[in-house]
Amino acid sequence: MENRLAFYEIRKKIALVTINHPPMNALDVETKEAIGSVFKELDDRRQEIRAVILCGAGEKAFAAGADIRAFLELSPDIARRRIFRSHQIYSMVENFEWPVIAAIHGFCLGGGLELALCCDIRYAEETAKLGFPEVNLSIFPGNGGIWRSLFYLPLGKLKELVFSGEIINAQEALRLGLIEKVVPNGQAIEEAIKFADKMIEKGPLGIKAAKKVINRARELILWQALELENDLWSNLTATEDMKEGAKAFLEKRKPQYHCR
């Protein structure tokens, strides 16, 4: 499996997904398709897991954007088809049933940063570098990164990063809200696992429903978002897990959740 451009292993309900295209883990067509195939397989095995961690192989990069050589063969029609497919694959990551945590090391640039923004949570090592350098090639982020960045960055700061192609360090990314935590070098995956382990102890159906509400609410006006919250929250009251959580709280014991 490790010869694939993306592969995974499941460790105690955590799926560790690795982008395996070193040294820079460039997101060419084949690598994106491999990521899509992994998330499709994980969707088929979603009952076995409660969280996903996404990382990059090698020492240099989480993912450092596209394969620039492929740009030379592009025409508008080919580009439209490829971007459409990229949107589908990135949406598979963003809307995966369980939370996805990006464990970022090294370079996280262009399409790599756009992919990280599809994840629910991002932990970056202290020497990580993040940015949208696409304007250096007279293009711009085309995998949904501009839209997703608007939920984290002020408009002017997003324009500044996109228009300049500036690459920022992990501390600046944390200050701006692009990532949730800066961790020591070599510890991004470990820190992501720690958070996932903590999350797995919570009510899985509540987490799954919360992710759905948070993701969908970004596209809704207030009354629609409230209606969605009402529907999903109310449906949870029919689950065994919800009753178990309440009973365990009242009985001062640790709940035993079974995702039903």
CA distance 227 to 243: 23
The CATH number for 21's domain is: 3.90.226.10
**pLDDT above 70: residue 2:** no
**pLDDT above 80: residue 193:** yes
174 within domain boundaries: yes
pLDDT single digits (tens) 211-246: 999 999 999 999 999 999 999 999 999 999 999 999
**pLDDT above 50: residue 182:** yes
Q: Is there a single domain that holds both residue 221 and residue 144? A: no
Number of domains in the chain: 2
79 within domain boundaries: yes
Residues 129, 171, 197, 24, Cα dihedral to 10°: 0
Residue whose entry in the numeric block shows the structure tokens 């960045």: 149
Give CA 48 to chain center in angstroms. Answer: 19
Judging by beta carbons within 10 Å of its beta carbon (0-12, 13-18, 19+), is residue 258 exposed, middle or buried? exposed
Backbone φ/ψ region at 62: left (φ over 0), alpha (ψ -120 to 50), beta: alpha
**pLDDT above 90: residue 1:** no
**Residue % of the chain over a pLDDT of 70:** 99
**Residue % of the chain over a pLDDT of 90:** 92
256 within domain boundaries: no
173 within domain boundaries: yes
CA distance 169 to 179: 11
**pLDDT above 60: residue 100:** yes
- By residue range, what is the domain housing residue 32? 6-200
Catalytic residue positions?
114, 134
Q: Is there a single domain that holds both residue 60 and residue 158? A: yes
Q: Is there a single domain that holds both residue 82 and residue 145? A: yes
Query: H or E stretch including 234?
Result: helix 222-236
122 within domain boundaries: yes
219: its two tokens? 């596209």
pLDDT single digits (tens) 111-126: 999 999 999 999 999 9
260 within domain boundaries: no
Q: Is there a single domain that holds both residue 170 and residue 114? A: yes
257 within domain boundaries: no
pLDDT single digits (tens) 38-80: 999 999 999 999 999 999 999 999 999 777 888 888 889 999 9
Q: Is there a single domain that holds both residue 98 and residue 25? A: yes
Q: Is there a single domain that holds both residue 166 and residue 236? A: no
Q: Is there a single domain that holds both residue 73 and residue 146? A: yes
How high is the pLDDT of residue 68?
A: 80
Q: What is the DSSP string of 151-162?
A: TTS-HHHHHHHH
Give CA 127 to chain center in angstroms. Answer: 20
The CATH number for 223's domain is: 1.10.12
Q: Is there a single domain that holds both residue 87 and residue 188? A: yes
Mean pLDDT, range 100-120, rounded to an integer: 98
**pLDDT above 70: residue 151:** yes
DSSP state at residue 1: -
Q: Is there a single domain that holds both residue 117 and residue 70? A: yes
Q: Is there a single domain that holds both residue 196 and residue 215? A: no
Q: Is there a single domain that holds both residue 181 and residue 58? A: yes
